[in-house]
Structure 1
Amino acid sequence: MPATLTELNVYPLKGGGGTPLTSAELTATGLRHDREFMLATPEGRFMSQRDHAGMARIRPSYDGEVLTARAPGVPPLVHRPTGDGEVLDVTVHRDDCQGVDQGDTAAAWFSALLGTDCRLVRFTGRRETSRGDGEVMFADAYPLLVISAESLADLNGRLDEPLPMNRFRPTLVVEGLGAYGEDSVRLMRIGETVIELVRSCGRCVVTTTDQETGERGREPLRTLASYRTIDHGIRFGQNGVPRTPGKLTLGDPVDVLESK
């Protein structure tokens, strides 16, 4: 069976929930608007579900003009991004980068929701990927995460209770490569785009966080560790870098151009 693209997800706010799409524009930094916004501590450190599991319950959407953030039990934040705010020095893991502060109203909304002081910033400048000579905004290290649907099916066959794909927060899900088939792909064409898969994705405590409730458990890390520990890390999915930008649409054919 030919491989196809079955899911497209964009994450306008780093650490927030994903927005499923039927089509998207792939740019040099990933899907348009992916991780364009981030919450930062007063010291400028990025915030994510690793330390703030409640971020899983935030549902952001961004159409290029208005950022809307929704969360249970509170009125939504409707924010028109500004490019005139103070440029703040911020960090994503060990990377130094910059973001434009989005003002006190947005900061107050997120601070009250999460119970800690923070600022909403919008990416500015340029940031390079850890490997692969690509560009990225506020994502951890790479602009794309590709997972095969069969990989999740294989994992779920080992679990007492199956988990949804959103535990792994992919941008692209493909079907037809087989379980862990993404591991052996170097270059793939999806629709009119070309993507290079440059490094397997190390998994962390975020995968144990229910993306609807923010509650944490032990799976899937416990099970993944038993058979997907590679190079001293638990690996699931492949990080990718766009090589040819263009439009992506659900149902697009996926062609393997080069294997590892």
Structure 2
Amino acid sequence: MPTISSLRVYPVKGCKAICIDQGAVKETGLAYDRHWLVVTADSGRFFSQRNEAKLALVEQAIHPPELLTTAGVEVPPDAELILKAPNVPLVKNSNGSDERHVICWEWKGVARDEGAEASAWFSEYLGKPSSLVRFLGRPGTNDAAADPTKRRRPVVPAGWGAIPGHEIAFSDRLPFLMTTEASLQGLNEALGKQEAVPMERFRPNIVVSDTGEPFSEDAWEAFSVQRPGHTPCKFKTVVPCDRCKVTTTNQETLKVGKEPLQTLAKIRSLDQLSFIPKERFPSHAVFFGWLCVAMGQGSIRVGDEVVPSLRDGPIK
């Protein structure tokens, strides 16, 4: 039986993962996933590892940690985001109250500036004027068109529409990214004598083990996460994740190479994956993992069983 082998959240977009044993499933993803953004001090345009690879070395933590693991827990007044990076002292966010305009991909909206201390910390670390901002959108409230704190539902390729009602914080496209250990093993076997690629390169939220053949998740229409005595959490696999150059950056040394994109182009391109309509992605797209939405809220943990539901026919 497939099971969850790893759960990961990234409170500050682009920074190092926090591995957790249990996660709270929210409308925007796992609790606090991509709820903070590092932006330029002037324009408010976001940084990611695409243009600031050094973010990969920034360690982060949420205090108290129960905020990440328990759905619906009340946020205490001393709750903190804690950051540290090489050669930069430990800093705690200052819970600033000023709002400012920011830009994340296509979205231009309003977020909370976390204050001068966090700004100085990232400015020193990145070597350029920077600020840390927090997502203010409240799921299930105003429509994004009328609320500048909420992001519009991102556009997915035509015909791959997500379930109505899904929302995101600062994730790229959809709230959850699911990968499997079997697919990573299949990729590394295809790499041959080259250095194996770790799962960290793909920055997933949910990693599943014991799924059988590599890339068998391509046939999943949905999956349910179950454990005795608890209501199952159901997810819909919406669209395969086309991968960018971040996957070529070693997350420990920041050295950039050609893999795994070069090998994925041989085994996971549009030419190899006939079930993906070619007109819905760039011609150079390569794929690893699936972007998903949750069909409700709840809690999942490492060791929970994963029960896939297979598609009846080809994706349309």
Range into which the TM-score falls when normalised by the shorter chain:
over 0.9
- Counterpart for residue 45 of structure 1: 45
Q: How does 1:190-229 map to 2 (within 5 A)?
A: 190-191=225-226, 192-229=232-269
Structure 1 counterpart of 2:221, from 169, 186, 201:
186
Structure 2 CA distance for aligned equivalents of residues 226 and 197 of structure 1: 24
Larger Rg: 2
- Counterpart of 2:113 in structure 1 is 101
Of 173, 182, 187, 1:141 maps to 173
1:242 counterpart = 2:297 = no
Distance in 2 (alpha carbons) for counterparts of 1:99 and 1:186 = 34
Deviations 1:141-172 (A, max 9, x none): 11100001100000001221111100000000
> TM-score, length-normalised on structure 2?
0.78
* 1:65-98: CA deviation from partner (whole Å, max 9, x where unpaired): 111111112211112434x22x222222112232
- State how far apart, in whole Å, the 1-side matches of 2:107 and 2:244 are: 19
1:19 corresponds to 2:51: no
Where structure 2 has 5 or more consecutive residues not aligned to the other structure, the ranges are 68-78, 138-149, 156-160, 227-231, 271-277
Distance 2:130 2:94 in 1: 18
Matches within 5 A, 1:158-197: 158-159=190-191, 160-177=194-211, 178-191=213-226, 192-197=232-237
Q: Give the distance between the partners of 1:141 and 1:91, measured in 2 at CA.
A: 15
Secondary structure at the residue paired with 1:15?
coil
TM-score, length of structure 1 as denominator length: 0.94
Q: Which runs of 5+ in 1 are unaligned?
A: none
| Per-residue CA distance 1:16-41 (angstroms, 9 max, x = gap) | 01000011111111100000100111
Q: How many Å apart are 1:195 and its aligned residue?
A: 0.7
**Structure 1 partner of 2:130:** 118
Greater share of strand residues, 1 or 2? 1
Give the letter aligned to residue 247 of structure 2.
T
1:66 to 77, 80, 87: 80
**Root mean square deviation, CA, Å:** 1.4
2:235 alignment partner, SS class: strand
**Alignment check: 8 A CA contact 2:88 2:121 kept:** no
Q: Deviations over 1:171-228 (max 9, x none)?
A: 0000122311222212110122111111111111100111112221111111111121
- State the one-letter code of the partner of 1:176: D
The farther-off stretch of 166-175 and 92-101 is 92-101
State the secondary structure of the residue aligned to 1:156.
helix
The equivalent residue for 2:8 is 9
Partner Cα separation in structure 2 for residue 70 and residue 181 of structure 1: 38
Equivalents in 2 of 1:156, 1:144: separation in Å? 23
